[in-house]
Amino acid sequence: MNKNELIVHIAKHADISKAAATRALEAMIGAVKTTLKKGGTVSLVGFGTFAVTKRADRTGRNPRTGEPIKINAAKVPKFRPGKALKDALN
């Protein structure tokens, strides 16, 4: 499912226009991004938790030459599914 398909799904099941569903989805994504940028977490009970973790410096390899390269530390988003989501899949 891509973003447009998700918007259509939200509009149909929430009985709202596609424009309203788009605004709602964009607002939700924006809120998650803003919270993660500030170092916080977003917990949606029954769905899961979005958080930021730090990845340390590491050494990688250039696939063309095999030469070692330094990969800088980075902050990366993580998603940990909630129990209800896990149970729905099994």
* Tens-digit pLDDT profile for residues 64-78: 999 999 999 999 999
Looking at the fold, whether 4 and 44 belong to one and the same domain comes out as no
Predicted confidence band at 80 (pLDDT cuts at 50, 70, 90)?
A: very high
Number of domains in the chain: 2
Average pLDDT over residues 11-15: 95
Task: Give the integer Cα–Cα distance in Å for 81 and 33.
Answer: 18
Average pLDDT over residues 30-49: 95
pTM attached to this predicted model: 0.79
Print the domain residue range for 9. 1-38
Average pLDDT over residues 11-17: 95
Predicted confidence band at 17 (pLDDT cuts at 50, 70, 90)?
A: very high
Looking at the fold, whether 71 and 61 belong to one and the same domain comes out as yes
Predicted confidence band at 56 (pLDDT cuts at 50, 70, 90)?
A: very high
| Residues paired with 44 in a beta bridge | 48
Q: How many CB atoms lie within 10 A of CB 27?
A: 10
Looking at the fold, whether 14 and 25 belong to one and the same domain comes out as yes
